[in-house]
Structure 1
Amino acid sequence: MVQTDSDAERDRAETDAARSRRFQQLALPHLDAAYNLARWLCGNTSDAEDVVQEAFMRAFRFFDTFRGDSARAWLLAIVRRTWYTEWRRRGPSHDMLEFDDTMDDATFDGWSAGGADPQALLIRDEDTKRVHEALAQLPVEYREVLILRELEEMGYREIAAVADLPIGTVMSRLARGR
């Protein structure tokens, strides 16, 4: 039986739809982790949003090349490479951007979702601010492995895959960064 142009177009549309659904199932659950990494690398929400958008477009474009076990590690590696490409384009002077210390606010009208008292919130906010300031002072190669380990709770192998580093280098950077 000969396939017509309309049959080929329908098959291609069905294949594209299946690919899109698979991408959504594998990549979209990691959108928050991608944004968190980009936010820490960029230092501000606007650039982080741009990096994540570009990274997701790249990930979708090259989704057929994904062959790993961890879509999260694959996606975060793309976010990292996208940020490095942009950072190199702008120059290293953008490495130490001011961090938005309000981005982790989990409060509503002054009270946390857990109902913590104002003094506990003040202490938590001060601790969060000090951690953010300390992270912002680190060179990016130490900051990124700390973010992936401590905030994203990734294992050494996953971090090594994301950062394209040997596990020993990941461990060394974690120790020096801490």
Structure 2
Amino acid sequence: MIASAKNKRFQTLVLPHLNSAFNLACWLTRSRHDAEDVVQEACLRAFKFFDGFHGDDGRAWLLTIVRNTFYTWYQKNHEQKQNTLFDEDLHSADAQDAAGMEHADNNPETLLMRKDSERLLQQGLEALPLEFREVMVMRELEDLSYKQIAGVVGIPIGTVMSRLGRGRKLLAKILAPSNPEA
């Protein structure tokens, strides 16, 4: 009976956030396959230690485990994975549309420009150093609060705000068109 109560609570508080966990893992690992491994390991850890979870924010708790699992994985595999290419299939505009982000304007020229802009933004995010990319993904793509991000990453809120500010400036610099005359 106790095990089924744990299962039900786990299903209610944690499992609805698997998409967020997978999204974060994809951005951190830069690989759909590796992200699947990280999320699977994180879910196993989450279930194993679920008895110690006494909060209400299963999403932030799971993302913390995903992040920690990633860093464990990264330490083992970092040399091989630093040169992994961006997974275009995972982060394409079509995948975002399938997730419910419908576009009102279906003009082919507008769609092409939007897809190109999304591609440039994704490449810009991918080019950010990991410490900036992870907070940018959690804030801008996963819509976590500064407090939640601080809890997930284990840093003060001020550091979260600083990393977001610096990450946004770096992203703007990366996305700025290069000036050949400068």
The TM-score normalised by the length of structure 2 is 0.83
List gaps (5 residues or longer) in structure 2: 169-182
Q: Which residue is 2:38 aligned to?
A: 51
Query: Larger Cα Rg: Structure 1 or Structure 2?
Result: 1
C-alpha distance in structure 2 between counterparts of 1:126 and 1:43, whole Å: 20
In the alignment, is the contact (CA less than 8 A) between 1:43 and 1:98 conserved in 2?
yes
Q: Do the aligned residues in 1 keep the contact of 2:13 with 2:56 (CA within 8 Å)?
A: no
The Cα offsets for residues 99-149 of structure 1, whole Å up to 9 and x where unpaired, read as 1123233379xxx95462322221121111111111111110000000000
What's the secondary structure of 1:32's corresponding residue?
helix
Match of residue 41 from structure 1: 28
C-alpha spacing 1:91/1:114, structure 2 compared with 1 (3 Å)? closer
Greater displacement, 137-146 / 120-129: 120-129
- Paired with 2:18 and 2:157, the residues of 1 have a C-alpha distance of 25
Q: 1:75 aligned to 2:65?
A: no
- TM-score of the aligned structures, taking structure 1 as reference length: 0.84
Q: Which runs of 5+ in 1 are unaligned?
A: 1-13
Aligned-partner residue type, residue 146 of structure 1: M
In the other structure, the counterpart of 2:86 is 99
Percent of pairs with identical residues: 48
- Paired residues, number: 162
CA contact (8 A) 2:60 2:151 kept: yes
- TM-superposition CA deviations, 1:71-123 (whole Å, max 9, x none): 10000000000000000111356245321123233379xxx954623222211
Give the superposed CA RMSD.
1.8
